[in-house]
Amino acid sequence: MHLLLEEQLTGKFRKLPQPYYVTEYGVAYLGDALELSKLLPDKSVSLVMTSPPFALNRKKAYGNVESSKYVDWFTAFAREFWRVLKDDGSLVIHIGGAWEKGQPTRSLYHFELLLSLCRNNDSNLKFHLAQDFYWFNLAKLPSPAEWVTVRRIRVKDAVDPIWWLSKSPFPKADNRQVLNQYSEAMQKLLKRGYNAGPRPSGHNISSKFQEDLGGAIPPNFLGYANTESNSRYLRACRECGIQPHPARYPVKLPEFFIKFLTDESDLVLDPFSGSNATGEAAEKAKRRWICFETNENYLKGSRFRFENSTT
């Protein structure tokens, strides 16, 4: 029997309601993330990987929260994420920046959220900033139009922050799981060798760098184009007349953090799952997953990501 489903029937996850659909590794639920998270057992999740509704001045279809109220709104969820995370677990939040209403300056709400989650006096909600990441969305359109394309006084906003937070200063992580292919120059260097020793920059390059370690350690700057146009998910949505989710992240994004921060069969939670790109990445990586989503249409569409799902 499906592992999560078995746990749900026999004990650990029994408080959760009837799933919306089930796959080999995961279970999707329709409902409010705050209420559903409360039903998860303590210290059962290795990674909360999510893209919550951002604070926006221009409302999106799924009702975003105003930036002035954002920290309070998110904190209620964060308390539950802290409780359900294992001690070596991580909370990864993809959080787009926002512009102040009516003027060409940036909101600070996502920095305020970061400070509030990491600098407070509550020992049950005191995350560490393990590392800040930046997603460079290569295909982002010039926006906001008024400042970028009409008045031409700002450049396009194409980088989203991703806060990697952890309960302990030493969360589970292994960068050997996410190595990039060596560049051609590096491959040549590995073949040819190079002179070890001090450089004018002050760095001392040791001969250790000549060892082929299977790939290059990735930077905290992730460049993935969000240009999916003919995926199984989009094709099936089109065929069934379902509107695809308007703010999806590419599957490669959760895939990176899932491989980096979890092992096979660990549990990954996406409480604001939208089209469930997180579930698709977890399924491929053979991690168990749970996702929550309030909008039934998004959840219905997300099912197309999986070949064999059942209700």
Report the interface residues with ligand SAM, using CB under 6 A: 32-34, 51-53, 62, 245, 247-249, 272-275, 277, 292-295, 298
Cα pseudo-dihedral 122, 127, 132, 135, rounded to 10: -100
Closer to ligand SAM by CB, 133 or 249: give it: 249
Closer to ligand SAM by CB, 89 or 274: give it: 274
Q: Which residues contact 58 (CB under 8 A, 6 or more apart)?
A: none
Closer to ligand SAM by CB, 112 or 228: give it: 228
Smallest gap, in angstroms, from Cβ of residue 83 to ligand SAM?
A: 17
Report which residue's Cβ sits closest to ligand SAM.
274
Smallest gap, in angstroms, from Cβ of residue 250 to ligand SAM?
A: 8
Closer to ligand SAM by CB, 19 or 52: give it: 52
Closer to ligand SAM by CB, 231 or 295: give it: 295
Residue type, 232: R
Smallest gap, in angstroms, from Cβ of residue 281 to ligand SAM?
A: 10
CA separation, residue 152 to residues 101, 139, 167, 190 (Å): 17, 19, 43, 46
Smallest gap, in angstroms, from Cβ of residue 217 to ligand SAM?
A: 26
Q: Which residues contact 166 (CB under 8 A, 6 or more apart)?
A: 88, 89, 90, 91, 127, 128, 130
- Contact assessment for residue 303 and residue 39, using Cβ atoms and an 8 Å cutoff: no
Smallest gap, in angstroms, from Cβ of residue 73 to ligand SAM?
A: 9
Q: What angle do CA 10, 11, 12 make, to 5 degrees?
A: 130
Closer to ligand SAM by CB, 89 or 96: give it: 96
Smallest gap, in angstroms, from Cβ of residue 244 to ligand SAM?
A: 9
Smallest gap, in angstroms, from Cβ of residue 55 to ligand SAM?
A: 12
Phi, psi values for residue 109, rounded to 5°: -60, -35
Q: How many CB atoms lie within 10 A of CB 236?
A: 15
d(CA 212, CA 148): 44
Closer to ligand SAM by CB, 231 or 294: give it: 294
